[in-house]
Amino acid sequence: MTAGQFYDYDTNSLSLNSPKKDAQPNRREILNSFFDVLTTTESVNWAINLIHSGDRGYICTVNVAILMMMRSNPRLQNFVDRAALIVADGQPIVWASRLLSQPLPERVSGVDLIDGIAKKSTEEDLKIYLLGAKSKVIETAVSKLRKKYPGVNICGYNNGYFSKEEVPQRVAAIRESGAHILFIGMGVPLQEFFLDDNWPQLGVNLAVGVGGSFEIFAGTKKRAPVWMQNTGLEWFYRLLQEPRRLWKRYCITNGQFIYELFKAMIFR
């Protein structure tokens, strides 16, 4: 079963009154998206400051596959454009930013955001809710986070496999938990459209789409070695773990990314 069998969404439904992509200061344009010029540490501090300010917003972690998906999915593009913070979750995007004279300081991954925000939340007495993955995976991820950060306040969690009819229950559980932070790992674009459909009712100050990060924390999937992360080969490491599911996606998106980057370098 795939996540798409459980939660329906309309890929063409666009939210109204979306601000311009370049409305935020200090953003760099890389192909069809803007990115905030922040390190991982700065992104974590930004997230905590947002919560304390009383504002609400969501973070989008965009890698090459997502960036290319956005080009053919208007609703996903629109959702990312409206993010309070957009970070580059991929070394190739950081390299592209430099080739296009729009340099980003470093890669900011979903895994590192969970780690940094969870650690900071223990100091700030903030509540966290986790939604996504299979039941066993999310339970293990929660257990390991609590062990790593004693005192972390995980006020609720649930798996990411549910029907359209169960959506109101998931939304109510998040709202009633009193969570300040929602980490949602249901895959792209499922997690983004869940947030888009239910944002006014969720009640959280901050939401972060983290894709398959819960599997990393649970240990059901391994993260690429640091040298592969730094050389832009993390996608290849993932491909080796799930070749049948990912080979077509990576072949198409990587080729498209190189083509679009080449065009942008010539015609800028």
Per-residue model confidence as pLDDT tens digits over 52-107: 999 999 999 999 999 999 999 999 999 999 999 999 998 999 999 999 999 999 99
Measured CA distances, 216 to 54, 61, 128, 130, 166 (Å): 31, 16, 18, 14, 26
The total number of structural domains that make up the chain = 1
With beta carbons less than 8 A apart as the criterion, state whether 217 and 141 touch. yes
In a domain, 248, yes or no: yes
Residue 10 lies in a domain: no
> Is 24 among the domain residues?
yes
What's the pLDDT score for residue 21?
47
Per-residue pLDDT at 237? 58
**pLDDT score recorded for residue 2:** 39
Residue 4 domain flag: no
pLDDT at 254: 85
Long-range contacts, 219-228 (Cβ 8 Å, 24+): 219/140, 219/144, 220/137, 220/140, 223/111
**Does the residue 175 lie in any domain?**
yes
12 in a structural domain: no
- In 3D space, the residue among 160, 215, 162, 205 whose CA is nearest the CA of residue 186 turns out to be 160
Both structure tokens of 111: 């895994």
φ/ψ (deg, to 5) at 155 = -85, 0
Residue 213 lies in a domain: yes
Q: 246 or 57: which carries more pLDDT confidence? A: 57
In a domain, 6, yes or no: no
**pLDDT for the residue numbered 153:** 98
Range of the domain at 199: 20-267
Strand blocks (E) in 126-255: 127-132, 153-158, 181-185, 206-209
